[in-house]
Structure 1
Amino acid sequence: MSAVVEFEEVVAVAGSFPVLTGIDLRVDQGEVVLLRGENGAGKTSFLRACAGLISVSSGGAHVLGFDMRVDRRAPRRYMGLLGHENNLYRDLWVREHVEFRASAVGATESDTDAALLRVGVSKKLWTVPIGSLSAGQRRKVAIASLVVGRPRLWLLDEPHASLDSESRENLDLILAEASQLGATIIFASHESPVSNEIASRVITMGGGRVLEDSGAS
């Protein structure tokens, strides 16, 4: 199985504070990896490093075959990131926002419609400004923007946040389907009962490094 993410003794610094302190971690294609740990353990920093949003100070870091110390922007077109903030254009209509993401990856209008329906966004909301939506509705739009892009690597930080129980179950099905199609999923979550059910591997982080790995040989 090919490595999608491969970090070797990676150190990353935010400002003057080390957020990753020699992390060693390999994630292969098709894995669904749950990151656990206390606040400040390094989960979000690891996801952001994978997405190229923070630079690697030392060590080896490869994502989707790209050397992140050479060009950390290169793999972004092949991945989808869902952070604590949904990063939505609040003045755009719901459908316009997902169309914007679709156009960036060559997806069609029908792909946009399918993504919105798949995540449970009602058609009556498609022409509503994002800024007028509830927190749960905005989260669904952000997820639809990932679905339409069909990323090879999904990076999700507390993906169930703001979702009701039905929407959380639906998201789990979406992630399972993506994994079955060959996508790799790495997500941080405090919701252990739900998260453990969909994860094929659980990694516990602390102090910017891996403390425990259920997939370690």
Structure 2
Amino acid sequence: MEARSAPPPALALHDVSKRYGRRWALARLSYSLPQGRSLLLTGHNGSGKTTLLRLVATALSPTHGRVEVRGNDCVTQRDVVRREVALLSHASFLYEDLTAHQNLVVLARLLGMDAPADVAGELLVKVGLTKRSDSPVRQFSAGMRKRLAIARLLMKAPAVALLDEPFGELDPAGIEAMEKIIRELKDSGVTVVLATHLIEQGMALCEERLHLQEGRAVAA
């Protein structure tokens, strides 16, 4: 009987570099994250964390090297990768004049989901926004926007969740709720790549750590 081959890594970086003008945001970065593991990205502001997440999300292309998600190239197989990943970033991409519920219904319809209103309602319960479900997003605080953005990510049901400072702008209750959501993602088999300055929380949630300094991987 033939032995089954191992699944491709959830994330693979092959000698990846990214340049903005004359500045190298990432320099010759190689790394492999097995499926079933989650990764904590650490480093000071400007170390390359957000650039790396945007490369994995296909929002950027590397200057050199190759980025792969579950064996798919993030440049040549961009459409496939975009179905596999979801990015929670500083830019929330929410419809300001729509309510929280309407924002989620729009996405549910784009994804072709059945009963989009019901799906939206369930996610608003999950992220603690039921009391503000009928409020326009333009009235939301930064923390409330973060909660709604994570609801959008959950609706997409990605294989790989990219979380850029998910605890930012959240109060203690919001941080606790976010930690619970991340654990539930992991328990459901989602690979989480988490960039945060809250090292203690990140270490408790992730099995692996990649520390960046001036775009290079260094010992933490």
**TM-score, structure 2 length as denominator?**
0.90
CA distances 1:31-53 after superposition (whole Å, capped 9, x unpaired): 22111111111111100100111
Alignment of 1:112-191 (within 5 A): 112-122=120-130, 124-191=131-198
Q: Aligned with 2:78: secondary structure? A: coil
Q: Aligned with 2:86: secondary structure? A: strand
Structure number with larger C-alpha Rg: 2
Q: Aligned partners of 1:61, 1:176: CA distance in 2, in Å?
A: 26
Task: Looking at secondary structure, tell me which structure has more strand per residue.
Answer: 1
Q: Aligned partners of 1:191, 1:209: CA distance in 2, in Å?
A: 20
Q: Aligned partners of 1:13, 1:72: CA distance in 2, in Å?
A: 20
Q: Aligned partners of 2:52, 2:70: CA distance in 1, in Å?
A: 15
Aligned match for 1:207, one of 203, 206, 214: 214
Aligned match for 1:42, one of 28, 48, 54: 48
Percent identity over the alignment?
Answer: 30
User: Across the two proteins, how many residue pairs are aligned to each other?
Assistant: 212
| Residue type of the alignment partner of 2:9 | A
- The answer to whether the Cα contact below 8 Å between 1:107 and 1:149 also exists between their aligned partners in 2 is no
- The answer to whether the Cα contact below 8 Å between 1:176 and 1:198 also exists between their aligned partners in 2 is yes
Q: CA deviation at 1:73?
A: 4.2
Aligned match for 1:77, one of 73, 76, 83: 83
| Residue type of the alignment partner of 1:142 | A
Residue 100, structure 1, aligned to residue 87, structure 2: no
Q: Aligned with 1:175: secondary structure? A: helix
Further displaced range: 180-189 or 67-76 = 67-76
CA gap of 1:168–1:107, structure 2 versus 1, over 3 A, is farther
Which ranges of 4 or more aligned residues in structure 1 deviate by more than 6 Å?
none
Aligned match for 1:28, one of 34, 42, 46: 34
- The answer to whether the Cα contact below 8 Å between 2:8 and 2:70 also exists between their aligned partners in 1 is no
Aligned match for 1:63, one of 49, 65, 69: 69
Structure 1 spans left out of the alignment, 5+ residues: none
CA distances 1:171-217 after superposition (whole Å, capped 9, x unpaired): 1111111111111000110011222211211211112121137xxxx
Q: Aligned partners of 1:99, 1:180: CA distance in 2, in Å?
A: 26
- The answer to whether the Cα contact below 8 Å between 1:205 and 1:211 also exists between their aligned partners in 2 is yes
CA distances 1:41-66 after superposition (whole Å, capped 9, x unpaired): 11111001001111112212212322
Q: CA deviation at 1:104?
A: 3.0
Q: Aligned partners of 1:34, 1:141: CA distance in 2, in Å?
A: 23
Q: Aligned partners of 1:58, 1:7: CA distance in 2, in Å?
A: 11
How much is the aligned-residue C-alpha RMSD, in angstroms?
Answer: 1.7
Q: CA deviation at 1:145?
A: 0.6
